[in-house]
A and B are shown apart, each in its own frame.
Chain A
């Protein structure tokens, strides 16, 4: 899309009854039909962009988290990707690289604590990266497939007021964007030869004009949060955004341009909801991404059974909130520019209500925020919020993920002691920008039951959010041979969500 995503797209559709033969019912558009597409979440798990809602290398005296990432290119195309790690508080970049995948390639990496207090990435994968990763001191000789590392940095956030230390690099989330497919000599350079090595990484590194073509999608990813010592791991699929862009937007790794707000992302989203297919047109591609992720509530289960010594944490990430870092005002649908403080005080947080239900359907408003006395709602203020769930008889519920950021104004969701298991709903409060985002009048809605097409703007309520819940069981009685053994079990479940889309 040569002139950028801000170009308004107009669908003007006049629907007639479906005819027996294939028939173009309507086609009237102001856009270049060959260069735009429409962003959607893919229930089949493949896309042009992947969002890993959390990573952590946090530790305490009982154990340390590592995070394993995988990324698979399921296509016969070679690809140039931007892989970016963002810290949890504001979504500031802590590491970034260009990754070049061969056809049918897979890339894996582990995130581990760094001796200087931060985090680093370690990989033995041989796919080309730019920059070239650091050789580990344990491997003084340069050998193919040797482990290499990328140390996370605080240089993007030292003056943002949310903490300058390297500890901020220890948790966050990951975004992967397909900038382009590779063609010609660039394809040859990235493609692995018969021993399994790329032909010529040097050709790709620093190459300002590689041979590129539009992204083609077909990426998937997995996430493993593992605490080896405690014997738990939590595993999830990455969320996949499909059909994001139909023009390449390759840049060298020093250029921050490839992001979820690039001009090449189509300013159109597709969401199926409430008996309709909503094809919504936006002023910018970044708002189309917001719309694809816009949910009006976040639901997740919890278990706090004492018999199984269970604990539960909720992880709620806002993968587009960082796009407001460059502007001094709130970027709708967010209430304010990205800001974080330990209790969410003194900033513009996102206000939420947290309602919990037992397995029997009994309801409570968390943290004593219910009843007849109006009390300010809870707030979340991190880009990736890691929230323990606990009973209020405990003064402080240990975080299963041992987050240093938390993100909830009262740190944890506190429930009555009788709420030993059930489910939690987090609902953004309608306040200020929470009136949502409204698409352009050229948007169309197709009623699934009849095929009727209605043209007009769409209002999306909620926030662009993704996340999951983790839950542990600790056996405590398991015997291995004659001795006791650990018997710890970790489980993770992607959250479920409600949407609220209306046609004013």
Chain B
């Protein structure tokens, strides 16, 4: 097998590039997630919520899906500054979601997100860190025999979760993929929702790697993830061999540039933000050492000061192709380097003459400038995030046993491939606020939220 991004939206692993339960003066973000098992096999998945700053785990569980099953959940803030995931879904999880304290009215089962893993990492120990991040879902195995029977919903729609959680020897098969997911970031009060499909990585593994939920092993760096990737770029298809499966997953996300549109028009009171997530940055062989292609180990601070971060450059164009590198053209800050230092970076876009607030209410942000300042005359256009600087051109190289197919000729050439850029995925959000809409004689909200997956440029060379 060889890992690849699936344009058809199905795979063995899903990346939901962002979740948020942040709150602000005027609204609160909730996040709705769905996962569909589009196959006739039962599946054991590891679902992980990672906080945005350095990708520490804040929530994790095993999820068992029946054939053709669908699982949904909501991520919401709770009193005390934290976050919880709740679901009314009956599919088995291990550990189980639990009912909150008595007194609540018909509460759905919940699983609060936790601060255990980051409390001493120096980047904030409060529960507030759980309020934004990203989600990874990895298929550990398909289910067979009695284990499949326990997970399969009966005619009443219920599985046998007790037997499943206490199954001493689960019957397992290889992962088969066919998972898809959707993401909804919704602010009910402000009348916005932003919807996206999860990124799907297909053909990750041919061997099961099921573990109980207390075992962190199932990840992109599991030995069962095959150390091969397949990426098409230009007239070539690159089938690349790597030293580890984690590098193969890096490769499928390796993009040199990411691009997204923005709208800041005054008439529609529009705001925009760009979310860029590094879904493999949390993987590191040694905590104190950078892991290529990253510039440094995962560290974060609100302004990226003292943080290694990842060197990047933003360019902004208006709709008539004027523009170029931003560097806050109206208010340049001498000596500031352009870096992203979070795992899930939220970058508001603002005109140089106007302060902006994050439409996603992010507190972690991640961009050294805080926001991308486009020229004050730019109302709308598109942004380009370019990785690397001339002195620090991030890249990874595959093993010499890699092969490249020239689709123009069918020629196959063996040799190493160099992927430049960073493993990243993301999207943009954009709002319109009407302000003049009338509902039955009264003014009503008339707010509209839109989101669009980013587009990307690859830079792969060799042999």
Name A's B-contacting residues (CB within 8 A): 11-13, 15, 18-29, 31, 33-34, 36-38, 40-46, 70, 72-74, 101-108, 125-127, 191-192, 194, 196-197, 218, 220, 222, 224, 226, 228-229, 231-233, 235-237, 240, 242-243, 246, 266, 268, 270, 272, 275, 277, 279, 295, 299, 301, 357-363, 421-423, 425, 444, 446, 448-449, 451, 453, 473, 475, 478, 480, 483-499
Contacts and interface: CB of A to CB of B under 8 A. Distances in A.
25 contacts: A12-B410, A23-B413, A43-B7, A44-B455, A45-B453, A74-B259, A104-B323, A106-B319, A125-B320, A194-B322, A196-B321, A222-B450, A235-B451, A272-B4, A279-B407, A299-B36, A357-B68, A423-B36, A444-B410, A473-B186, A480-B444, A480-B445, A489-B191, A491-B193, A491-B195
Contact of B153 (A21, A103, A362, A499): A362
B344 interface: no
Interface stretch (B138-146, B335-343, B397-405): B397-405
Contact of B8 (A108, A229, A422, A497): A497
B59 interface: no
A275 B153 CA distance: 30
A446 B184 CA distance: 37
A394 B84 CA distance: 36
Contact of A237 (B437, B452, B457): B452
Given A279-B407, A423-B70, A235 B452 contact: yes
Contacts of B65: 361
Contact of B235 (A37, A73, A127, A301): A37
A451 B259 contact: no
Contacts of A295: 8
A218 to B, nearest CB: 7
Given A18-B403, A361-B67, A487-B188, A43 B6 contact: yes
A301 B34 contact: yes
A446 B239 contact: yes
Nearest to A29: B409
A192 B320 CA distance: 7
Contact of B90 (A107, A229, A360, A446): A360
A11 B410 contact: yes
B197 A496 contact: yes
Contacts of B230: 272, 277, 448
A374 B244 CA distance: 52
Contacts of A246: 408
A275 B38 contact: no
B8 A498 contact: yes
The listed residue with most A CB atoms (<10 A of its CB), out of B182, B381, B412, is: B412
Contacts of A101: 321
B1 interface: yes
A362 B322 CA distance: 54
Contacts of B91: 360
Given A228-B434, A360-B90, A448 B191 contact: no
Given A192-B320, A194-B322, A279-B410, A360 B239 contact: no
Contact of A231 (B90, B191, B407, B453): B191
Contact of A449 (B72, B228, B321, B443): B228
B456 A497 contact: no
A170 to B, nearest CB: 21
Interface centre among A108, A236, A489 (most CB of B within 10 A): A489
Contacts of B319: 105-108, 125
Interface string B420-451: 00000000000010100101001111111111
A484 B321 contact: no
Contacts of B237: 270, 272, 277, 279, 446
Contacts of B437: 228-229, 231, 486
A499 B6 CA distance: 11
Contacts of A28: 410
Contacts of A275: 1-2, 203
Interface in B358-392: 380-382, 384
A28 B412 CA distance: 11
Contacts of A236: 452
A218 B1 CA distance: 29
Contact of B191 (A15, A127, A485): A485
A299 B380 CA distance: 34
B381 A106 contact: yes
A118 B414 CA distance: 56
A72 B447 CA distance: 25
A488 B191 CA distance: 7
A26 B409 CA distance: 10
B317 interface: yes
B251 to A, nearest CB: 13
B153 A360 contact: yes
Contacts of A240: 455
Interface string B1-26: 11011111110000000000000000
